[in-house]
Amino acid sequence: MIRAAFLGTPSAAVPSLAALMEVASVELVVTQPDRPKGRGRRLEAPPVKHAAVEWGLPVHQPNSHSDLRSLFTNRNLDIAVVVAYGRILKPEVLELTKHGFVNVHFSLLPRWRGAAPVERAILAGDDYTGVSLMLIDAGLDTGPVFAAADTAIKDHESAGELTGRLASLGADVLGDHLSDYIHERLKPARQMATGAKNAPRLTTAEAALDVNSSPTAFARAVRAFNPRPGAWIHADGQRIKVLEVGPATPSVPAGHIEVVGGRAILGLVSSSIEIVEMQPSGKSALSGRAWANGRRGVGLVLDPAPSL
């Protein structure tokens, strides 16, 4: 039986943990420490910890690189599987299993390397993306790949929705191919540098929506930054998240949100777009129509985006 460790943190990593349990003995689950969340700042365990505890797996949450290294020393593990763990693994850790550390990466490498491959694919207008099983090396997602699967990006799919699909696809690919790699029936292939793109972590500042964008680029940004950090505009002295948009034909001045036929229509420089769902600061999400009803026909003018 394959002796394996699993490293992951968010809910998107849980399907791969379940898949790994089907093909290996999971000796160790490593995840990030509990973090304070919400208004009460109560400590909250990451989704992988919740799943591992429920499934009776041993869980560790190291706070330092040395603690992480000690977890793997003298364990005689065959493989470690990594899915969105949230910490860069140093070379001295990567050499502590017989067959290395395998990353379930949510991109068709080398297309997007880095922390936000799903969001960057949507922002760029890619038609396809996928998952790759990659051996982690000292570079940024530059290791050799031994399995991959692609999928079309749907026209109205948010980053959160696409991540959910890729999490399931990645789990399937892992379950289908990990054993073949361990038993040398699959040989990893070096990545080509051609076509590689950097996918840096998203920031709140870059999620500010620009009325100078085309409707297509504007809609891509809304999808890419949903759910985190949330695409936003600034109006009425507050930040308003824009969660979903749709096409609109009414002519509205750029930078204005007007109530037209009971809908919230935002003017862009080149056209207009409907705000289908939004979330004012400190409030729950609501439909654009509900917002328009509450405004009683009175629109808004966007403020200049504040510096962050």
Tens-digit pLDDT profile for residues 159-176 = 999 999 999 999 999 999
- Quick count: other Cβ atoms within 10 Å of Cβ 269? 12
Peptide bond into 36 cis (omega under 30): no
CA distance 198 to 140: 9
Average pLDDT over residues 250-271: 96
Least confident of 34-48, 111-125, 127-141: 34-48
Closest CA to 225 of 211, 207, 240: 207
For tokens 């696809």, name the residue: 169
Q: Which pLDDT score is estimated for 39?
A: 76
Tens-digit pLDDT profile for residues 229-247 = 999 999 988 999 999 999 9
CA distance 79 to 6: 9
pLDDT tops 80 at residue 199:
yes
219: CB partners within 8 A, 6+ apart? 245, 273
For the chain, what is the mean pLDDT?
96
Tens-digit pLDDT profile for residues 70-92 = 999 999 999 999 999 999 999 99
Question: What pTM, to 2 d.p., does this model score?
Answer: 0.95
Q: Which pLDDT score is estimated for 307?
A: 63
Taken in order of first residue, the domains within the chain and their CATH numbers are: 2-198 (3.40.50.170), 205-301 (3.10.25.10)
Q: Which pLDDT score is estimated for 287?
A: 98
Q: Which pLDDT score is estimated for 130?
A: 98
pLDDT tops 90 at residue 38:
no
Q: Which pLDDT score is estimated for 119?
A: 98
Q: Please list the residues that pair with 134 across neighbouring strands.
A: 103, 145
Average pLDDT over residues 282-305: 91
Average pLDDT over residues 29-34: 97
